[in-house]
Amino acid sequence: MNDPFKIFHSILEIYVSPDSIKRLKALWNEKTRVYHDESHLRQIIFDIQNSVWFSELSLAEKHTLLLSAFFHDSIYDPKKKDNEDQSIKFFKKSYIGKDAVMVQKVSGLIEATKHRKRPMEKLQRIFWDADNAGFKKGYKVLLDNEKKIGKEYSYMTPIAYKESRIKFLKSCIGLFNNNDIEKLIEYIKKH
């Protein structure tokens, strides 16, 4: 997939102000982003479109998932703990559509990515699975993603990063391929 902002521009402009579309593009391409960049956005859109349920969804549901993808990491500062909340605020401020239910649903999908529990509701599950798809694509992808995430957190001391990252990865055991996550934890401990 090439530039998602060009591919989905006609959909975005239905729901999002022109200034916010420009800001979204700039945010996803901030120089501080190594993992949470436009390639992550493209990956999420790809995984949403390849969900086993995608063909069953209504147009409104597909647009809800697409807006969630574009906005879920729109505000991303590894030093902060409220990125999802700030992304939801940015979405609500940017939204020019008339559907209040869509605002609730997009906000709920973004909110679901904060948790290490796989949601039961269909749209939330599709979105959560897409956001976490890297955990299911084998050790090489997991390691490549880890190196990118490590660069985003380079402001931390190596010891603090290791402790924080290992704690996070342990919270993922049982959700994905445990062997790959445990292997990654051992890699982090050694490096």
pLDDT tens digits along 118-138: 999 999 999 999 999 999 999
Phi, psi (degrees; rounded to nearest 5) at 173: -65, 130
Structural domains of the chain, count = 2
The CA distance from 38 to 52, in Å, is: 24
Specify whether 102 is located in the same domain as 122. Answer: yes
One domain, residues 155 and 117: no
- My answer on whether 149 and 120 are in the same domain is no
- Same domain? For 164 and 185 the reply is yes
Is 113 within 8 Å of 84 (Cβ atoms)? Answer: yes
Last residue of a domain, one of 111, 131, 151: 131
Q: Is the pLDDT of residue 78 over 80?
A: yes
Q: What percent of the chain shows pLDDT beyond 90?
A: 97
Same domain, 127 and 43: yes
The predicted structure's pLDDT at residue 89: 98
Residues 108, 38 share a domain: yes
Do 113 and 49 lie in one domain? The reply is yes
- Do 32 and 72 belong to one domain? yes
- Is 64 in the same domain as 108? yes
Bridge-partner residues for 191, per DSSP? none
Task: Report yes or no: 102 and 60 within 8 Å, Cβ to Cβ.
Answer: yes
Does the pLDDT value for residue 66 go beyond 80? yes
Q: Looking at the structure, tell me whether residues 178 and 113 fall in a common domain.
A: no
> How many angstroms separate the CA atoms of 134 and 44, rounded?
10
Quick one: 97 and 147 in the same domain? no
**Backbone φ, ψ for residue 128 (5° rounding):** -60, -45
Residues 120 and 53 grouped into a single domain: yes
Report pLDDT for 107.
98
Alpha helices in the chain (DSSP H): 4-7, 9-15, 18-28, 38-49, 59-72, 83-94, 100-112, 122-131, 139-152, 158-170, 178-190
Secondary structure (3-state) at 49: helix
Domain that holds residue 163: 137-190
- What integer pLDDT is reported at residue 178 of this predicted model? 76
Residue 16 has pLDDT above 90, yes or no: yes
Q: Are 134 and 128 in contact (CB under 8 A)?
A: no
